[in-house]
Amino acid sequence: MLGIDPGLTRCGVGIVDVDRSRRADLVHVGVIRTPVDAPIGERLAAVADGIRSVLVEHRPDAVAVERVFAQHNSHTVMGTAQASGVALLLAAEAGLPAATHTPSEVKAAVTGYGSADKKQVQAMIARILRLDAPPQPADAADALAIALCHAWRRGAGPRQDGGAQTPAQRAWAEAERVARTYIRSTT
C-alpha cells in the first residue's frame, strides 16, 4: 500500500506491507522535495517524477492520498490539491485503485483519536511499524499513516483470521460502527 501526503514543498511517500492479521511492515518511506522558488510546472513535474519512481520500484497494490481540506491559506491548499491530483492521476495511469482519506480519518486509524497531533501520529507509526525512532519529517510519518489507514479500512469488517487488533484498530472499528448507526438513524 502506497500512502501519499501531498504537498509541493514536501510530498511524503510511504509504503507498508500489511498482512491478513493487520500486522504492518515498513517497505519504503521518503519525502519528495521541491524548491519554493521554482515554477509551479517544474515543481509538479518533480513531484510526479518522485511518485512515479516509487510506483515503478515498489509496485504497490493500491494508492491512498490524504484528502485536501479547506485551510485559511488558499495558496497552500492550492499546491496541496495540485500535488494530490498528480498522485491520483499517476495511480490511474498505473491501473491502481486509489482512495482519499481525511486527516481526521487517518489520525483516528493510527492513534484512535481523530484530533491527534503530529508527534502522536509519528510515535504511533514508530510503534506500529516497530521502528527505533519516529519517521522524520512529519510528512513521511503522515504518508505511512495514510497507507495504514487505507489498508486497515479496506480490510474493515469481521476478522477472518482471529488475530488481535491494536488499540487504534479497535477504535477505528468502533468509530465506523458508530458512524453506520448514526447514518442509519438519520436516513
Active site residues: 5, 66, 139
Residue 61 counted as an annotated binding residue: no
Residue 176 counted as an annotated binding residue: no
Quickly tell me which residue has 522535495 as its cell: 33
SS (H, E, C) 63-100: EEEECCCCCCCHHHHHHHHHHHHHHHHHHHHCCCCEEE
Cell of 162: 482471529
Residue 5 counted as an annotated binding residue: yes
Let me know: does 107 contact 113? Beta carbons within 8 Å.
yes
Backbone angles phi, psi at 28, to 5 degrees: -160, 145
Let me know: does 185 contact 165? Beta carbons within 8 Å.
no
Spatial CA neighbour of 2 closest among 44, 54, 37, 49: 54
Let me know: does 46 contact 82? Beta carbons within 8 Å.
no
SS3 6: coil
Binding residue ranges for Mg(2+): 5, 66, 139
Q: Which residues are annotated as a binding site?
A: 5, 66, 139
